[in-house]
Structure 1
Amino acid sequence: MMEIEVIHGQIIAKANHYQAVPGKFGRKQIIKDEKIRAYEKSFIQQCKTYKSRCISSRFRLFVRVYHSSVRFDLDNSLKALLDCLQMVGAITDDKLCFQIEAEKRIDKFHPRIEFALLEVNEQKNIFNNQFNF
């Protein structure tokens, strides 16, 4: 049975929240801005079910993203979620994600994400032969 975890707060799309700062030898360095760091900190504090699970085999991600408005992108949220899952040790590497079932919903007053991870047996076709490539 899959366990569902809920992380409260508006997930931050990383693509829109990087900033250039002066680096060594006059080069610019790209770093996360304060909004991303604050969301990551909040995620780490809230994540209990999957924290330190260390999933190191193929997995499926099931997620409902409740945004505070329609202007937020679902796809950018997924990358941020996978990065946070790696950060808390839920997964060892986001490249092991072989399937994502995602849904975007709007909840103006209670933005959040609800997700579950399911490890996938290497021998089993995760699409159950629905696609014939």
Structure 2
Amino acid sequence: MLFSQMLHGDTPACAAAPVTRSGGGTVDATDSTDWFCAPLYAPYGVYGLPPEGTRALFLPLDGGYACIGALCAGGEGLAPGELRLSSAGGAAIVLKNNGEVWINGAVVAPDGTIAQAASGRDAT
């Protein structure tokens, strides 16, 4: 947050900006405002750092801002209710509505059997 905004109390309700740095549980971003060392919030047990350039959402918190997430892109192929956990390097885990878990091309069936993805079927 800009110092002038802190003095005048004209803090926007929320803002989105591209990440310029992330590490140590904090995020920096710059757009029309600069955010430095904004704490990064996520569901308990979920850890990750948005890569540089990713658009992140900031909300006011305790006189500063907190990063509460990053823009979700890459949801192609997901049905409502399904979940994809992926890394910038391409690793992915997909929880399917039929009970399958897709892990980097391998399919784990609800009974625990493991198979490679069928040809033409993207398991990431």
Q: TM-score, normalised by structure 1?
A: 0.25
Q: Which protein, 1 or 2, shows the higher relative CO under an 8 Å CA cutoff with sep ≥ 6? A: 1
Structure with greater strand share of residues: 2
Structure with greater helix share of residues: 1
Name which one, 1 or 2, has greater alpha-carbon Rg.
Answer: 2
